[in-house]
Chain A
Amino acid sequence: MIGNDIVDLQQAAKDSNWQRPRFLDKVFTKEEQKLISNSEDKHQMVWLLWSMKEAAYKVNVQQFEKRFFNPKRLVCKLFSFEKGMVSIDNESYFTSSEITEDYVYTVATLNEEKKYKTHCFKMEQTDFKLQSQFLKKQLLTTVAKIENYNIKELMIKKTEVGVPQLFNNFEKLLTSFSLTHCGRYSGFVYL
């Protein structure tokens, strides 16, 4: 199982004010808040930890099919800027992040998986529906090409808890994948 999350740093600065009272306390543990306050680029650290939590959450929902909103319960540990781990209850997820000036992008996996395929890209179009269509098409095109499917037979459907699943000619595929977008950036990953 696999999950991903991207944060457009410019968009996040516009959309969210993590400096507002009580924001950090709702989202981050004391240890994580220390990481943020000790960090040279606090904005980047806030969204790096956030993307780790989100990506790990997406794997957790696939596993247990139960939604919840409590980012603080997902506890981040950083081994380096790019490598980390997120724990919740008795589960742990490995995270691998890409950090640029423009975005942070994290992929979370159950095992220390290296074989996944991931791709992020920039879009000028920021309309939510068009972005979502484009992103799905990017994923389907890649899967069709690599796994030798006819793209016309491929379809994405969401489960009741919002986990997207892939179907080929109405038959469910075991491919685990995840989609994310934020502002100008989108990304997909699949295993």
Chain B
Amino acid sequence: MKKEELLAKLKTIVKPYIQDEEAYTKLSEETDFINDLKINSANLVDVILDVEDEFDIRIENDDMEKMVSVKAAMAIVNEKLAAK
């Protein structure tokens, strides 16, 4: 999936959980889910489940472990989509 398209989809997915609007407006690959967007860690589970539903993939806990930033999430989604 194209970078911009994936980024846009992720941006929509995280929206309900963010607590820092300013960081959300500036969301980029470098954005950190917890440190920047202030997503609480329980909601990070929801982000991962939403990502699974949106892309129809399953993310194992070993992969989930790295998903603390937009960049890491994009890499994992692309990897899973490629393996489909």
Contact = CB atoms under 8 A, between A and B. Distances in A.
Contacts of B64: 26, 69-70
B67 A12 contact: no
Size bracket, chain A contacts: 20 to 34
Interface stretch (A15-23, A110-118, A142-150): A15-23
A71 B46 CA distance: 13
Interface string A60-104: 000000011111110000000000000000000000000000000
B19 to A, nearest CB: 5
Contacts of A16: 42-43, 45-46
Interface residues of B, number: 22
Contacts of A128: 19-20, 38
Given A69-B44, A73-B61, A162-B35, A20 B49 contact: yes
Interface string B28-70: 0000001100101111111011001000000001101111100
Interface of B: 19-20, 34-35, 38, 40-46, 48-49, 52, 61-62, 64-68
Interface of A: 12, 15-17, 20-23, 26-27, 50, 54, 67-73, 128, 162, 182
